[in-house]
């Protein structure tokens, strides 16, 4: 079984690879269809303006939460396990924003047979505005083969 990242290869202070996506109605509609989140403020410019957003419709907060998962999975691989993930939505994401997930390893530890890595994360738009600070804990495989990945 091949892994993207092993626990032993991760260092505190290391940045995970950036993960980016430009958002637009197509991405929002696809996300809404999967999550049954057809809310007018995300689909219609007039509804977005009525909700006090001058630029019209705006993106779902939970889509950025999903982007955290995408970034972690692309970095760590399919056999890693996200044990904790949380974030706050601090700014609206607009149509055609380029959203980039960034993350830095803040700690690593062995606990209950799992090799855990803590990561401070954020979603930034193309202007460098941090829109969704968050943190994650991910269980990684060990090169020793002695790992207890949940799931």
For 24-37, b where at least 16 C-beta lie within 10 A, e where not — what string?
ebebbeebbeeeee
Q: Give the per-residue pLDDT at 64.
A: 92
Q: pLDDT tens-digit profile of 108-145?
A: 999 988 999 999 999 999 999 999 999 999 999 998 87
Tell me the per-residue pLDDT of 2-51, one tens digit each, with 9 for 90 and over.
Answer: 458 999 999 999 999 999 999 988 888 888 888 888 888 888 999 999 99
Determine the distance from the C-alpha atom of residue 106 to the mean position of all C-alpha atoms in its chain, rounded to a whole number: 16
The per-residue pLDDT for 1 is: 41
Q: What is the pLDDT of residue 5?
A: 93
- What is the reported pTM? 0.89
Among the four given CATH numbers 3.40.190.10, 3.10.129.10, 3.30.110.40, 2.40.50.1040, the one describing domain 12-140: 3.10.129.10
| Number of neighbours of residue 110 by Cβ within 10 angstroms | 13
Tokens of 14: 């290391």
Section 60-75 average pLDDT:
93
Give per-residue pLDDT as tens, 72-118: 999 999 889 999 999 999 999 999 999 999 999 999 999 988 999 99
Residue 46, classified by CB atoms within 10 Å of its CB into exposed (0-12), middle (13-18) or buried (19+), is: exposed
Given a cut of 70, is residue 146 above it in pLDDT? Answer: no
Strands (DSSP E) found in 10-150:
15-22, 81-87, 98-111, 114-124, 134-140
């Amino acid at each position: 079984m091949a892994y993207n990242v092993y626990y032993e290869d991760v260092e505190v202070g290391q940045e995970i690879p950036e993960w980016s996506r430009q958002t637009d109605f197509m991405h929002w509609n696809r996300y809404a269809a999967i999550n049954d989140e057809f809310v007018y403020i995300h689909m219609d410019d007039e509804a977005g303006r009525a909700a006090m957003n001058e630029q019209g419709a705006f993106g779902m907060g939970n889509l950025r939460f999903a982007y955290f998962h995408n970034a972690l999975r692309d970095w760590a691989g399919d056999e890693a396990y996200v044990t904790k993930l949380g974030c706050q939505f601090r700014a609206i994401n607009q149509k055609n924003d380029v959203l980039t997930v960034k993350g830095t390893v803040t700690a690593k530890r062995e606990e209950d047979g799992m090799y855990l890595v803590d990561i401070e994360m954020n979603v930034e738009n193309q202007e460098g505005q941090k829109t969704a600070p968050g943190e994650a804990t991910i269980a990684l495989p060990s090169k020793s083969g002695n790992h207890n990945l949940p799931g």
